[in-house]
Chains A and B, each alone.
Chain A
């Protein structure tokens, strides 16, 4: 943490504007996250969750993974939050304005969360204190591209610049094709299971 602040103030070999925007978005994300777990209005909690998910998408952009950021916006904000809002609408009425948070467990929850954060922060600061990310993560990805079939194998490898979408596609459909198919079967099973569970008898 001290090295984080030191890097901000001294400003050696880092992009100042990038860091300012990073801290701004991180602060917005954390404040919205606090509101998600503390607000008493369930619809407000879902709308604050949209800010948290968008903030996580911004972090993906900072890390140079645009495809994950776009997928985050499409799947989480576009689908999952809408699904949660439908769930809120279908189960409302029983709750009204009564207390949504169990006050007995509030202190215990805060204690557990703070202890967990203390442990994780200690181990992270201890283990990765001065580890710096590459300045441009996008340029590090090498992709095999069939430019010309007549030339030798070295020409098949070129460095992918810009978006990492091609690299992600190659990785999924070469190394991780079995997990990909397993996820598709899982989604089908979840679809059928949700219909079976939620239908009326």
Chain B
């Protein structure tokens, strides 16, 4: 199998995640798109680890998974706080830091 087929699949998932982050207004859906981006990075890490014949790629993917779990926990807590204060999780309405 070619290395490139895994890297191109990861690139497709990454760009779909970027599209979701840009277009989505709902906070939870933005978090889902971020998860897709992190998964694309994980495919790259494991693919290069398999290509070089070391388990280091999988180790880094596991670290990314742990950090993603922490990130989604904090992100959902922030989304719940925004919902409690504004009765909406529309990210285009969250602009109190706008100058």
Contacts and interface: CB of A to CB of B under 8 A. Distances in A.
Interface of A: 1, 3-4, 7, 14-15, 18-19, 22, 26, 29-30, 33-34, 36-37, 42, 45-46, 49, 52-53, 56, 59-60, 62-65, 67-68, 71-72, 75-76, 79-80, 83-84, 86-88, 90-91, 94-95, 100-102, 105-106, 108-110, 112-114, 116-117, 120-121, 124-125, 128-134, 137, 140-141, 164, 167-168, 170-172, 175-176, 179-180, 183, 186-187, 189-191, 193-195, 197-198
B58 A67 contact: yes
B74 interface: yes
Contact of B62 (A42, A113, A133, A168): A168
B88 A94 contact: yes
Interface of A is mostly: helix
Contact of A76 (B19, B26, B33, B35): B35
- Residue picked from A110, A133, A170, A193, most chain B C-beta under 10 Å: A133
A100 B4 contact: no
Nearest to B21: A109
A91 B79 contact: yes
Interface in B25-50: 25-29, 31-33, 35-36, 39, 42-43, 46-47, 49-50
B94 interface: no
A84 B6 contact: no
Nearest 5 A/B pairs, CB to CB: A140-B53, A190-B70, A37-B20, A109-B22, A113-B19
A8 B87 CA distance: 53
A101 B9 CA distance: 25
B28 to A, nearest CB: 5
A105 B22 contact: yes
A198 B81 contact: yes
Contacts of A65: 46, 49-50, 55, 57-58, 61
A94 B83 contact: yes
B34 to A, nearest CB: 11
A100 B29 contact: yes
A84 B76 contact: yes
5 contacts: A37-B17, A63-B46, A91-B80, A117-B15, A120-B15
A87 B76 contact: yes
B73 A33 contact: no
A127 B21 CA distance: 28
Contacts of B15: 113-114, 116-117, 120
A22, A52, A176, A195 — most chain B CB neighbours (10 Å)? A52
